[in-house]
Amino acid sequence: MVVRLLTPRQHQLLWRVIDQHIETGEPVSSKAIESSGQFDVRSATIRNEMSDLEDMGFLEQRHTSGGRVPTALAFRLYVNDLVTAEGIAIGQALRHRVDEALNETDLRDADALNRTLARLIGQLSSNLVIANTTEREDAYKFGLSNLMAIPEFHEMDRLMGLTDFFDHFETMFQRMHRQMWRETEGDVKVMIGTENPLRQIQDEAVIVARYRLPRGHEGTLTLVGPMRMDYRKNLGLMTYAAQIANRITDSIRN
């Protein structure tokens, strides 16, 4: 329903703003959009379109003299489009990295398989990844230092929210998973901003994948990163991790 509010040019313009903001982390100006050469219109038209997108809730201007950044609503529309229009997949090189790491893992060991996936997805995504296996009270965390290298987490309020999340990690993690999977079936789920049930990380985005593991276990990976994360890459990685874990488990059963 939201997509129908956008003209084709507004849709293309919003996607260009999102892609540039994901790449740079900076507000995007109409001048930067014009210089990209993707729009054969005058700069005044681009400014007006961006203003309309702001009025519709897809962009926000944090400083009067700066450019605009996408809102959580814009990222939600972007992710929905990626899933429905483009599909989610990763290239051969990334698949090879995952497969290569699993070749060195005892695939019959559910915990070992889960830890390998968390470590590798954390490395490849440059975000925080948490692995959990049913019947285990603790979870395996990899990549907190990745978040510390991202400019957004240099802001004190974002850092304090993340710190509070880890101070009460076990309780929060279990509650987050219960709420995330309560109504939605499927293997991968994305929570953006306030869609996330935990207020401590409601400025971020969370991707959760769940899958079968050997010996009747179920595994999950939870990826936490900034709202401007590389959704194409991260969704592809998490989807492939779930697919290959299911495939491994099914082959062991047979």
- pLDDT confidence of residue 123: 94
CATH label of the domain that carries residue 195: 3.30.450.40
Residues 103 and 36 placed together within one structural domain of the fold:
no
Residues 101, 130, single domain; the answer is: yes
Cβ–Cβ under 8 Å, residues 58 and 52: no
pLDDT given at position 184: 52
Residues 165, 132 share a domain: yes
Q: Are residues 41 and 74 in the same domain?
A: yes
Same domain, residue pair 97 and 54: no
| Span of 39-43, 116-120, 190-194, 247-251 with lowest mean pLDDT | 39-43
End position of a domain, from candidates 86, 103, 134? 86
Q: What is the pLDDT of residue 2?
A: 46
Does 213 lie in the same domain as 233? yes
Tell me which DSSP letter residue 229 carries: -
Give the domain range for residue 167. Answer: 92-253
Bridge partner residues of 188 (DSSP): 209
Contact 139, 164 (CB under 8 A): no
User: Is pLDDT larger for residue 112 or for residue 197?
Assistant: 112
User: Could you give the number of structural domains in the chain?
Assistant: 2
pTM: 0.89
Residue 220 and residue 213: Cα distance in Å, rounded? Answer: 10
Q: Specify whether 52 is located in the same domain as 146.
A: no
Q: State which of 175-179, 240-244, 250-254 shows the largest mean pLDDT.
A: 240-244
Q: Say if residue 36 is in the same domain as residue 104.
A: no
Residue 125 is predicted with a pLDDT of 94
**Would you state the pLDDT for residue 186?**
60
The token duo for 64 is 């009067």
CA–CA separation, 194 and 214 (whole Å): 34
Comparing 168 with 111, which gets the higher pLDDT?
111
Segment 9-25 shows an average pLDDT of 93
Nearest in space to 222 (alpha carbons), one of 131, 108, 93: 131
Tell me the C-alpha distance between 206 and 124, whole Å. 16
Shared domain for 135 and 170, answered yes or no, is: yes
Residues 6+ apart with CB under 8 A from 73: 2, 57, 58
Q: Angle, nearest 10°, between helix axes 169-181 and 156-167?
A: 90
What percentage of residues in the chain have a pLDDT greater than 70? 89
Cβ-contact 238, 206 below 8 angstroms: no
- What tokens appear for 5 in the block? 């509010």
pLDDT at 136 over 80: no
Better-scored residue on pLDDT, 97 or 136: 97
Give pLDDT, residue 245: 94
The verdict on 114 and 190 lying in the same domain is yes
CATH code, domain with 52:
1.10.10.10
Q: Which of the listed residues 51, 70, 86 is the one where a domain comes to its end?
A: 86
Backbone φ/ψ region at 19: left (φ over 0), alpha (ψ -120 to 50), beta? alpha
- Are 110 and 252 a contacting pair, CB within 8 Å? no
- 102 and 161 assigned to the same domain: yes
Phi, psi values for residue 80, rounded to 5° = -60, -40
Question: Which among 122, 113, 125, 166 has a CA at the least distance from the CA of 143?
Answer: 122
Among 86, 105, 132, which residue terminates a domain? 86
- From 32-46, 89-103, 203-217, the region with the lowest mean pLDDT: 32-46
Q: What strand order describes the sheet that includes 188-192?
A: 140-142, 128-133, 218-226, 204-212, 188-192
Does 154 share its domain with 245? yes
Mean pLDDT of 37-56: 87
Span 166-220, pLDDT tens digits:
776 677 667 766 666 665 556 888 999 998 877 888 889 999 998 999 999 988 8
Name the average pLDDT for the chain. Answer: 86
The pLDDT value given to residue 70: 96
1 has a pLDDT exceeding 50: no
